[in-house]
Homo-oligomer: A and B are copies of this chain.
Amino acid sequence: MGMIGGGPKAFIGSIHRQATRLTGQIELVAGAFSGDPDKSVKTGMELGLSKERIYLTYEEMVEKEAELPPSERIDFVAITTPNHLHFPMAKAFLEAGFNVMCEKPMTITVDEALRLRDIVIKSGSVFGLMHNYSGYPMVKLARDIIKDTEFGAVRKVIVHYQQDWLSQPIEADGQKQALWRTDPAQSGPTGSMGDIGTHAENLIEYLTGLTITQVCADVATFLPNRRLDDDGNCLLRFDNGAKGVLHESQIAVGEENNLAIWVYGENMGIEWHQETPNYLNVKVKNEPEQIWKRGNAYVGEKSPAADRATRLPSGHPEGFIEAFANVYANFSDTILAKINNNIPDELMLDFPNVEDGLRGMRFIEAVVKSSKSNKKWIAMNH
Contact = CB atoms under 8 A, between A and B. Distances in A.
Contacts of A168: 285
Contact of A233 (B220, B235, B265, B274): B235
Interface stretch (A36-44, A49-57, A115-123, A157-165): A157-165
Q: How large is the interface on A (under 10, 10 to 19, 20 to 34, 35 or more residues)?
A: 35 or more
A136 to B, nearest CB: 10
Interface string A286-309: 111111110111100000000000
Contacts of A17: 24
A247 interface: yes
A137 to B, nearest CB: 12
A302 to B, nearest CB: 10
Contacts of A252: 156, 262, 264, 269
Interface in A310-332: 311-322
A269 B282 CA distance: 20
B319 A253 contact: no
A213 interface: no
Given A314-B257, A320-B317, A286 B298 contact: yes
A290 B290 contact: yes
Nearest to A177: B313
B287 A298 contact: yes
Interface string A355-382: 0000000000000000001111100000
A277 interface: yes
Given A289-B291, A290-B290, A317-B277, A251 B156 contact: yes
Given A231-B156, A233-B243, A284 B253 contact: yes
A155 B226 CA distance: 15
Interface string A146-180: 00000000011010101110011000000000000
B311 A18 contact: yes
Interface string A1-32: 00000000001000101100110100000000
Contacts of A316: 256-257, 319-320
Contact of A254 (B11, B243, B269): B269
11 contacts: A18-B22, A168-B285, A216-B376, A218-B243, A233-B243, A253-B269, A254-B269, A257-B316, A278-B319, A317-B320, A321-B321
